[in-house]
Amino acid sequence: GLWHCNICLAEFRVKLGPGKVAGIPYLRRSLDVFEDSTFDASGHVAVLLFMSLQVVATGVGRSIAYSLQSVATLLCWPFPSFIGKHLLVALAAPAGLVELVTFFIYVSLFVIQAMIARVGARWHPNDWGSFGQDYVAFVLVAIADTL
């Protein structure tokens, strides 16, 4: 059979509904779904693309903040604690700002995803007028091109 347990190798008895499986046509498509008028789930693809951007932006932002914090800690290490603590607060401020910006980006992307998900599967960047066409579509196409 096609499906089986990876542990005991017992065959699963999977019965699919009649007709064509809904997920297969979506998996065989290119990610350039925003120019394809026959694709009816561009909203789902947009949410997934924004999720991947959210993960990358958060990962990069947190890495930069952690690096800045580590450099500040290393610079303050040789000083006595009464000087090093105050110096660390000043030198670690950029790390805190990067964390704040990263959090703002995360929340902004979450709000965009929620707005797209609320509209539904048939959402398209053109639904948001010139902002959607000029900025959102550009970001989505850039993400899809890098995948």
**C-alpha 93: how far from chain center:** 26
Contact 75, 91 (CB under 8 A): yes
pLDDT (0 to 100) of residue 31: 62
The tens digit of pLDDT for each residue in 6-58 reads 888 888 876 666 666 656 665 666 666 677 777 777 888 888 889 999 999 99
Q: What percent of the chain has pLDDT over 90?
A: 35
Contact 85, 126 (CB under 8 A): no
pTM over 0.85: no
Bridge partners, residue 11, by sequence: 4
Q: Output 122 or 37, whichever has higher pLDDT.
A: 122
DSSP SS3 for 11: strand
Average model confidence (pLDDT) across the chain: 84
Q: How far apart are CA 45 and CA 84, in angstroms?
A: 49
**C-alpha 140: how far from chain center:** 11
Section 131-140 average pLDDT: 85
Closest-CA residue to 48 (of 135, 102, 123): 123
